[in-house]
Chains A and B, each alone.
Chain A
Amino acid sequence: MTERKAVDIMSDGYKWGFHDEAEYLFKTEKGLSRAVVEEIAGIKEEPQWMRDFRLHALELFEKKPMPAWGPDLSDIRFDDMYYYARASDRAERDWKDVPDYIRRTFDRLGIPEAEQKFLAGVGAQYDSEVVYHNLREELSKQGVIFVDTDTAVREYPDLVRRYMGTIVPSGDNKFAALNSAVWSGGSFVYVPEGVRVEIPLQAYFRINAENIGQFERTLIIAEPGSFVHYIEGCTAPIYTTNSLHAAVVEVIVKKGARVRYSTVQNWSTNVFNLVTKRSAVYEDGVVEWVDGNLGSRTTMKYPGIYLMGRGAHGEVLSLSFAGRGQHQDTGAKAIHAAPYTSSVITAKSISKDGGRASYRGLVKAARGAKGVKSSVRCDALLMDDDSRSDTYPTMDIEEQSALIAHEATVSKVGEEQLFYLQSRGIEQQEATKMIVNGFVEPVVKELPMEYAVELNRLIELQLEGAVG
């Protein structure tokens, strides 16, 4: 297969038939029912309160309509999916079933084969397990908890029970309800008062087949004055045989604490990626979301910031890349519910080969929230005439003193920019890469080095064959 062909396939969501021939240790029956939810809770030996939480969510899921706005979700077949499958202790499926384009991307990203297998969900990675245990030991000396959420339910039930569902209630939307009913895995992070975790916590250190589950649930609690940087996923492709990813992420930032949550996800192109991410930020707290979305067939993701305490601040920096057959519907929400709160939203999107990117955002300043400041900036880059970009900003301002700025730009990778770079000897394809890399630079520079390098390489890979 030529390079060009690999990339063509990569940007096409429909050509690949994904098999599901894996051997699982446990697997619930197809479709969603009370029995399936009970079975999940049973397999996990969960306490009654979690069982009830799930069952209540299931009721809400059944009542909730599909979103009537945004991307087309009519191809989602809820009855045709498995909601819980635990892999056997060995390889979950065969490495040879992983599509070439995914393997090629791993190779081009320079990811070692052991890690590739782990990331593709076909292997366990023992070296990383050691790393993770060491990390965990060091953290626990400071009182930091960093485990998968299933473990958290067993070992720290009081904390989970107290916070889970408080920021994203089960009834928030259909997919939050679904996640609440069938969730599995995800990360649980607890940082005690005044503790600053200097190294970023990375989800991939945690060896758990469910880690890259399709319904993971993440809960981060930062006590007053603490700091943590959590990094979820990475830029490598996330290969899955399932077609629906519906995660819920809740972040609680208490007085004077700061949480940075970075994720760059690159799903295989058959996936509906429908994620609810939200943070509540109290007095003088700071939350920062750095969110990159590549791959998937359809993504709906709008990290939310609820500024609940005076002087709280939140930022969202998001990047999405929509290729052929893909719709990236992303954005951010900033709800200013307290005085002198501020938010900065920067959303960048790239569309190519007929891909579609939309920004959907909400800025709300509640009555009585004096001195609110918010600035929203959306930049869209179109690689060709077939691609599309839309902006749907909503402003709901109930307070006179609010200062709200919104700026949106759409630019094409311009003939003039290309000509300028070419006039310096740079070939068209490299020139295009330079322009795109420059465009995503604000996101890249916020990521730790190894992620930044990987993201740049991945974008280059996605661009190859896009010009010519």
Chain B
Amino acid sequence: MPEDQPLFVIDDLHVSVEGKEIVKGLNLTARRGEIHAVMGPNASGKSTLAHALMGHPRYEVTKGKVLLKGENILRLKPDERARRGLFLAFQYPRAIPGVSMVNFLRSALRSVRDEDVPVREFRAMLRETMDLLKLDDEFVRRYVNDGFSGGEMKRAEVLQMGILKPEMAVLDETDSGLDIDALRTVAEGISALADGTRSFLIITHYQRILNYVRPHFVHILFDGRIIKSGGPDLAHELEAEGYEGIIAAAQGAR
């Protein structure tokens, strides 16, 4: 891979759900080690973007490209995208009754690495990540997301991210519904992975997670497009002015 090739490129992406266009020409480039925040009000297309990037079958990409390490991944199935290093932390993860977290994590890791992971190594990795997220042993014996509280679900998502160590992680409102302690824990989980080789796309409605995970770039999403991009200060500007002010200013500038 050439040095200057970006890790992740979203190029003129259009996404429709049930025939209705939700994402309307979105562009974003993330280089290795960069943390990008995509912020937007409700119904701006945040979750649609997240689902389309991971390849959910109901989100139809009608135009554009998504390049991961130079490869257009849009024709790949979700599991193939995951094996190439993409990860999505879900806003509303699904419960899989009867499947323990630990078995699920092991299967996922085996799939992503395409080889069996020695039990000892897996245990050590699990221990470390669980400690970081302040999860006890009992947690991984529970069934995947079954009866989890909102906070537990988000921690479980970050736990998976910590085990799978994706190169490109998309977090879909992972901060929503968290109290301040849980938010800090989740943020620490993200920071632990941010070692300069991985990139993050943090999709969020509020700027508060960005107090803990400092983004390099902030993008404002509105009506399916990025209407403004900037540095970390943009999040503070947003906090001061609200979406309405930023949107009005951006639209006025056109």
Contact = CB atoms under 8 A, between A and B. Distances in A.
Given A421-B96, A430-B107, A439-B98, 14 more contacts: A415-B58, A416-B94, A419-B56, A420-B90, A422-B55, A424-B107, A425-B82, A425-B83, A425-B111, A425-B112, A426-B79, A434-B104, A438-B97, A442-B98
Contacts of A415: 57-58
A438 B143 CA distance: 9
Nearest to B51: A419
B160 A424 contact: yes
B85 to A, nearest CB: 10
Interface string B63-101: 000000000000001110111000110100110111100
Nearest to A441: B98
A439 B88 CA distance: 25
A422 B82 contact: yes
Given A415-B57, A417-B94, A439-B97, A423 B111 contact: no
A28 interface: no
A427 B110 CA distance: 11
A427 B94 contact: no
Interface centre among A414, A419, A430 (most CB of B within 10 A): A419
Given A415-B58, A419-B56, A434-B104, A424 B98 contact: no
A419 B78 contact: yes
B49 interface: no
B57 A424 contact: no
A431 B164 CA distance: 17
B54 interface: yes
A267 B26 CA distance: 56
B93 A420 contact: yes
Interface residues of B, number: 28
Contacts of A442: 98
A419 B57 contact: yes
Nearest to B146: A438
27 contacts: A415-B58, A416-B94, A417-B96, A419-B56, A419-B57, A420-B93, A420-B96, A421-B96, A421-B104, A422-B79, A423-B55, A423-B88, A424-B82, A424-B111, A424-B160, A425-B82, A425-B83, A425-B111, A428-B77, A430-B111, A434-B99, A435-B99, A439-B98, A440-B98, A441-B97, A441-B98, A442-B98
A208 interface: no
Nearest to B107: A426
B107 to A, nearest CB: 6
A426 B108 contact: yes
Contacts of A441: 97-99
B65 to A, nearest CB: 20
A125 interface: no
Contact of B77 (A422, A434, A437): A422
A431 B93 CA distance: 15
B36 to A, nearest CB: 20
A442 B97 CA distance: 10
B200 to A, nearest CB: 16
Nearest to A440: B98
Contacts of A425: 79, 82-83, 108, 111-112, 164
Interface in A421-468: 421-428, 430-431, 434-435, 437-442
A431 B104 CA distance: 10
